[in-house]
Structure 1
Amino acid sequence: MANKILYPLIAVLALVAGLVGYHLLQPSHTPEHTLLYPQPRVLADFQLTSHTGSAVTREQLYGQWTLAFVGYTYCPDICPLTLAQLAGLHDDLQQHVAEPLNIWFVSVDPNRDTPAQMASYVQYFQQAAITGVTAGHDQLFPFVRQLGLMYAMSSTTDEHYLVDHSASIVLINPKGQLVAMFKPELAEGRVPTVRSQDLLADFPWVIRQLAKS
């Protein structure tokens, strides 16, 4: 009787051990639309102005996590969609980090995006964690470039000009270091934005990977 019970039990234990071993040997999954930098990238000093008119420097990044993206308040699609998405997901993402999680909307259109214009824009999204920042292009261009993002001003004289810019979102750690980039899904006929489901899945994955390093 003992053998009749023992042999099936051994078989079950062997099966479980095999399944566990199989999963442990599988290559780790890397999210398709997220770039985790092998080493955190230190950001050089910068001087920006917030939507409240106050100075913003690298020190404002310390002690918090920051999700940042570039755009402008007159943007017809990517910017309002991205900012609405981040505002709506903020509380869910905040649960994965102990420090405050802030959102930086970096305007690359300082000629039109005054502090007052940015303040009116960010307040529409009703999320206190959002800060609008901008500067002259002499400060703005190198800051955006070191984030791994880009923008290009139009040479047109039309007052309703558009600005080409990245649609990615970057993550900066509480030490003021760039650690990850969340990339948009590129699909024909769709506005290139980072998908909510990707951000919800990949953000905690990034935080776990950073905790291991």
Structure 2
Amino acid sequence: MFRNLLYVALAVAAMVAGVLLYQFSQASAEPELALVYPQPRALADFTLTDQHGETVNRERLYGQWTLAFVGYTYCPDICPLTLAKLAGVQPDLAAMVKQPLKVWFISVDPNRDTTEQLNNYVSYFEQANVLGMTAGHDQLFPFVRQLGLMYALSSTTQADYLVDHSASVALINPQGQLVAMFKPPMQVGELPVINAEQLLADFPLVLNKLNAN
């Protein structure tokens, strides 16, 4: 009898140790293509306009998780590929958090990306949680810089100019703070586009690290 109780106690202890070890390994696991900032970075206020003509400011970030990506609707490759991937994984990512999760496509080409153009472009992805927005460069430059992203205007006078911009995706928490950055894999001969499977794998690891801070 005593021996049986001892076996049961040892089995329970082993099970508890296994669970604790698993939880520790999950909490300490490093995301492969994401950077988690040691401290959340507060964002200064900003003023943008979304594809519906409504004003977007810092308060729109509160109470939701936000994945922010900069680009432009005339982008030939990185932007449509990235947005397609983000729109596709949005439901799975949203299921991992309690608050809503939105995708912000921030156009850094306000000269061509009118409200109508943005609305048509974003609507193509058929995902209500993907929002398009833009502003004048006086608002865009400081806001994009706050996100740890960048863009550079072309000096050409041609109508079909390109705009250089970051390919990473910033993560903003429900308090309106920048907390992490998801990076695309950098491979020779390949476009720097977010890997959807890796994003899904890294996202819970990022959340674990944020909860541990």
Q: Say yes or no: TM over 0.5.
A: yes
Partner of 1:78: 78
Structure 2 match to 1:169: 169
The equivalent of 1:29 in structure 2 is 29
How many matched pairs?
Answer: 206
**C-alpha distance in 2 between matches for 1:173 and 1:31:** 17
Counterpart secondary structure, 1:161: coil
CA drift of 1:25 comes to: 8.8
User: Would the aligned equivalents of 2:167 and 2:194 in 1 still touch at CA under 8 Å?
Assistant: yes
Which residue does 1:192 correspond to in 2? 192
1:181 aligns with 2:181: yes
What is the distance in 2 between the residues matched to 1:37 and 1:124? Answer: 33
- Distance verdict in 2 for CA 1:77–1:41, change over 3 Å: same
1:143: how far off? 0.2
1:43 aligns with 2:43: yes
1-structure distance, mates of 2:28, 2:56: 38
Alignment map for 1:8-27 (pairs within 5 Å): none
Letter in 1 for 2:188: E
1:174 CA displacement: 0.5
Query: Match for residue 125 of structure 2?
Result: 125
Q: CA deviation at 1:60?
A: 0.4
TM-score by length of 2: 0.88
Shift of 1:32: 2.5
Shift of 1:122: 0.2
Q: Indicate the structure (1 or 2) with the bigger Cα radius of gyration.
A: 1
How many Å apart are 1:118 and its aligned residue? 0.2
Gaps of 5+ in 1: none
Letter matched to residue 137 of structure 1? H
- The secondary structure found in structure 2 opposite 1:40 is strand
Give the CA RMSD over aligned residues.
Answer: 2.4
Equivalent residue number for residue 158 of structure 1: 158
Q: What's the CA shift for 1:22?
A: 8.4
- Consecutive unaligned residues of structure 2, counting only runs of 5 or more, are none
What is the alpha-carbon distance in structure 2 between the residues aligned to residue 133 and residue 22 of structure 1?
A: 44
Aligned-residue identity in percent:
61
CA distance in 2, matches of 1:162, 1:24: 46
Instruction: Please state how far the C-alpha of 1:212 moved relative to its aligned partner.
Output: 2.4
